[in-house]
Amino acid sequence: MVATALAVPAQPGTDRRRRIVHAAASLIMAQGYGATSMDAVARAAGVSKATLYAHFGAKAQLFMTIVAEECARHGNGAGAGFGVAAVPDALDAMGHAYLTLLFSDNAIAMYRVVMAEAHRFPELGQAFFDAAPRRIFARFGEWARARQAEGALDEAALPETMAEHFFALLRTSGFLRRLMALPPAPDGPEIDAMVAGAVHVFMRAYATPRTGG
């Protein structure tokens, strides 16, 4: 997934560090934190255990690093659909972007791991929530506020509430099923239907007669 080759060799340790993080991320997202041994990480990264500890000091610190890096990647993927003009089209684009991200193997694995370890690493849940869902909700809230100013969305509603409801409508039981590892994972047509349903309900609840689309 992540490129390990660089034009410039840089510090020899930098490449090793990346290999460690990548290997540890794969293992922890696949097996969970507790089930992943530092032995296994060292083996998968092709380094010795002592090197692991030279870089990260402890298993918990390596774990926190991984979550922080994944959070940064997910937070960046939150910006699709905001340029579309018509309200239903924009909702459709944002819904697809959100569900595609949310149902990805990486995102589901992150949710699972963070939920499982949140109370053993208290700052972890907050960091993940602020980096991923909260950022997406905030951007939607700004978008909704602008549409309210145009008269396209009900001005009596709070943008934050509309954001909550839109994304909640997308997290149907398909999200629960995915978190519980129940097959089948939602495919393209099913995601289309989920998005269409959410947009339909949202429009009925919050669109005005002047709404475009």
Does 11 bind DNA (CB under 7 A)? Our answer is yes
Using CA atoms, how far residue 171 sits from 13, 78, 116, 144, 182, in Å, is: 42, 16, 19, 19, 15
Q: From the CB of 44, what's the least distance to DNA, in Å?
A: 12
Which of 18, 38, 84, 112 is close enough to bind DNA by CB under 7 A?
A: 38
Does 6 bind a copy of itself (CB under 8 A)? Our answer is no
Name the burial class of residue 39, with classes exposed (0-12), middle (13-18) and buried (19+) by CB atoms within 10 angstroms of its CB.
exposed
Residue 172's contacts (CB-CB under 8 Å, 6 or more residues apart) are 194, 197
- As beta bridge partners, residue 207 has 153
Does 201 bind DNA (CB under 7 A)? Our answer is no
Residue 143 and residue 33: Cα distance in Å, rounded? 37
In this structure, what token pair is assigned to residue 128?
Answer: 């993940």
Q: Which does residue 11 bind out of DNA, a copy of itself, none, counting CB within 5 to 8 angstroms by kind?
A: DNA
At 3, the amino acid letter reads A
User: Restricting to residues 32-71, which ones interact with a copy of itself according to CB under 8 A?
Assistant: 32, 34-35
Does 23 bind a copy of itself (CB under 8 A)? Our answer is no
Does 112 bind a copy of itself (CB under 8 A)? Our answer is yes
Q: From the CB of 4, what's the least distance to DNA, in Å?
A: 14
Q: Tokens 């949310």 sit at which residue?
A: 102
Residue 131's contacts (CB-CB under 8 Å, 6 or more residues apart) are 71, 72, 74, 75
Give the CA angle between residues 64, 69, 70 to the nearest 5°. 100
Q: Which does residue 164 bind out of DNA, a copy of itself, none, counting CB within 5 to 8 angstroms by kind?
A: a copy of itself
User: Restricting to residues 48-107, which ones interact with DNA according to CB under 7 A?
Assistant: 48-51, 53-55, 57-60
Q: Which residues of the chain form contacts with DNA (CB under 7 A)?
A: 11-13, 16, 36-40, 46-51, 53-55, 57-60
Q: Which residues of the chain form contacts with a copy of itself (CB under 8 A)?
A: 32, 34-35, 111-112, 114-116, 118-120, 122, 124-126, 128-129, 133-134, 137, 161, 164-165, 167-173, 176-177, 179-182, 197-198, 200-202, 204-205
